[in-house]
Amino acid sequence: MAESVQACEEVSQELYHAIVKSKLLSVQEIKLLAVKRRAFEQGIKMPSSDAEEQYIRYISYDWDLMEMIQRRRDKAEEMDPERLNRSRNVAMMFGNNINHLFKDLLDRFPNNLKNWALYLDFCRKMKMHKASFDLVEKLIKIHSDKPIAFAFAAEWTLMRKHSYELARTYLLQGLHSHRDSHDLYLELLKNELEFTTMLKQKYASEDAADKDNLKDDLIRGVNCKLVYEDARATLGMNSKTAPLYKSMVEMMKKYPFTREFQTDIIR
């Protein structure tokens, strides 16, 4: 932690001088910035859980300042190349400091999944694509004991990478460790239903002769049926699992292509 805090303090000193040279903040704003950041830097040194809130507030403060400076730079009617370059450096330094803070935050307080979500959002906005993928992998490794971590990874993958295949991989990894997780079965079924819908739209114009047997099975939604059957085989039928199967059937009813095997499932 000490090394990370020191890095933040060094960035703060450089950032202070860069902001002065950029002339994007008034003298009063710069003084307030110095006071605020000094207080935050002291706050994150706290040994207790109070430091977690200080990290979030510090990150939020720097994030808002970075966006404000970018807006002021964009609105400036005329800006010489040297000043423009300085303003870009300021934004980059803010981003680097936020990155340091997030890394330290997750090292000290890894159990709060909201912090991981915030960091992933930051990576997305900063277009740090590889860093975000590595972060998801780290999340699963650290929180492999929590089914929600795999569900979160799958959801993020769909939202940011639009990859049903990778989302399926995360969910299957989760079910390998948490075979009795109802939530993971529901997420996997949802993934397969949406994946099948995408395939049907993609290959709607193809002739039957151009489709191989595997693709044809996928388009018919065989994977969806397999998810349901695996849940039944693994969990059995009892008062605790009945609500899960009911939810799965209700979910499938929203997709017309499941009608041909709904009868077999309900039987």
Length of the chain: 267
Which pLDDT does position 262 carry in this prediction? 74
- Domain-embedded: residue 21: yes
- Domain-embedded: residue 18: yes
Residue pLDDT, tens place only, 152-172: 999 999 988 889 999 999 999
Following CA atoms 57, 59, 63, 64 in sequence, which dihedral angle do they give, to the nearest 10 degrees? 10
Give the residue carrying structure tokens 């940011």.
160
User: What's the domain count of the chain?
Assistant: 2
- Domain-embedded: residue 137: no
pLDDT along the chain (267 residues), means of 10: 48 75 84 89 86 95 90 74 79 90 95 94 90 94 95 92 93 96 97 93 66 69 92 94 94 90 70
- Domain-embedded: residue 78: yes
Confirm if 91 and 70 have CB atoms less than 8 A apart. yes
Last residue of a domain, one of 109, 126, 146: 109
Measured in whole angstroms, how far is the alpha carbon of residue 118 from the centre of its chain? 8
Confirm if 149 and 140 have CB atoms less than 8 A apart. yes
- Domain-embedded: residue 127: no
* CB count in 10 Å sphere of residue 214: 9
Range of the domain at 33: 1-109
- Domain-embedded: residue 30: yes
Which pLDDT does position 107 carry in this prediction? 94
Widest distance between CA atoms in the chain: 75
Last residue of a domain, one of 109, 136, 165: 109
Confirm if 147 and 182 have CB atoms less than 8 A apart. no
- Domain-embedded: residue 171: no
Do residue 1 and residue 105 come from a single domain?
yes
Do residue 102 and residue 189 come from a single domain?
no
Do residue 103 and residue 8 come from a single domain?
yes
- pTM (2 d.p.): 0.80
Last residue of a domain, one of 70, 87, 109: 109
Q: Give CA–CA dist 185/191, Å, rounded.
A: 10
